[in-house]
Amino acid sequence: DPMNVEALCGLAQARKFESGDPWIMRFEELLRQKNLRADQLAPLHHAFAKICNDLGRYDDAFVNFTIGKTYKNIRFDAGHLEETYRNLASLFTPEFFLERQGWGSKDERPVFVVGLPRSGTTLTEQILSSHGMCAGLGELPDMRRVAQQVGFGKGSPATFANEVRRLKKTDVRRLANTYLNAYVRSSKPGAARMLDKSPHNYELLGLIALLFPKAHVLFCQRNPMDNCVAIYMQNFDDSHGYNRSLSDLGRYWRAYRFLREEMVRQVPLPIALVDYESTVADPEEAARRIVKSVGLPWDDACLRFYETERAVRTPSRWQVRQPIYTSSVGRWNRYASHLGPLQIELGKAGMGPAS
């Protein structure tokens, strides 16, 4: 089926294209068709943009990424998100946790790899899941489902905070056990550490600390320009409405940074900041620090993470099969002439959601 848009888009993501590849003409022919639907044009423009990027046609790539987003009917309420994050920061204080000391599970296995998408979370998980005592579980939906039971993402920005305040000790233990049921899906059921690599769990660190006071957190971070551009270049589903425009993305990043700083300061968990640029600059030093931060002895297999055979279903599925490379550092400069709205948002004073 030469007109199968889904198959062609999958092909575009599966490998790197070079000039003269006959498939490029197929994409160009398809984009000239007049009978394609919006739900076909959005992924097709993103896929062709990726091909242009492979070919070094960076202006064409960015134009097609942007056109692709015009076919997506996505809503993003920045004000609602910012108010939600302010409520989280006001709720999960040292006093909150002191009053509920000893409520959560004593299980030491949970490790949460969090951060923005495209910030190095998959790389971090792949390094650590190569350890003989770790099991990488991928992006589990379970913590988000647990949070939704307590009102996360429902009602007003204050709904979740109000519901968490009402929890009793028995509720906390029940919710923790509900999440732990996810571990039965592990291929290494006896592992000392279970890795949940759901990036947006950074929003739930307060709840995680309440349920699992002995958990470990690896908080991935990356240069904001590189991180935001990498997010913009993805054809994410509607739950990532913040990537519909550069200005929305910049405002979202400022809200994210506010919450990250508040959670790192207030949540009583060992939170290790994993800097993407440092990881690619000195992989061994970074890998040793990652392993140490979750309380495990060193394993040389962590340096051969690209040989680890496990399913990876994120946009980084190709990259984690390769040794570490540095070409993604400073990549935003290729598109600098298009990034004015993003730079304006990131440059606003305070970088916080109230600014």
Q: Residue 38: helix, strand or coil by DSSP?
A: helix
Phi, psi of 303 (to 5 degrees): -85, -10
Could you tell me if 332 and 340 are in contact, meaning their C-beta atoms sit under 8 angstroms apart?
no
Phi, psi of 350 (to 5 degrees): 85, -25
The residue with tokens 């091909």 is 51
Q: Helices (H) and strands (E) in the chain — how many of each?
A: 16, 5
| DSSP label at residue 181 | G
Residue 322's pLDDT is 54
Kindly calculate the radius of gyration of the chain based on its CA atoms and give it in whole angstroms: 21
Using DSSP, state whether 51 is helix, strand or coil. helix
Residue that the structure tokens 């009978």 belong to:
35
Q: Looking at residue 312, what is its pLDDT? A: 47
Whose CA is closest to 242, among 96, 81, 97?
Answer: 81
Predicted local confidence at residue 351, as pLDDT: 44
Q: What three-state secondary structure class fits 193?
A: strand
According to the model, what pLDDT value does residue 310 have? Answer: 43
Q: First CA to last CA across the chain, in angstroms? A: 51
The number of residues making up the chain comes to 355
pTM for the predicted model, two decimal places: 0.91
Paired tokens of 224: 């904001």
SS3 348: coil
Quote the Cα angle for 160-161-163, to 5°: 65
* Tens digit of each residue's pLDDT, the chain (355 residues): 877 899 999 999 998 999 999 999 999 999 998 889 999 999 999 999 999 999 999 999 999 999 999 998 878 999 999 999 999 999 999 999 999 999 999 999 999 999 999 999 999 999 999 999 999 999 999 999 999 999 999 999 999 999 999 999 999 999 999 999 999 988 888 999 999 999 999 999 999 999 999 999 999 999 999 999 999 999 987 788 899 999 999 999 999 999 999 999 999 999 999 999 999 999 999 999 999 999 999 999 999 888 865 454 555 454 544 556 677 889 999 999 999 999 999 998 554 554 4
Residue 131, pLDDT score:
96
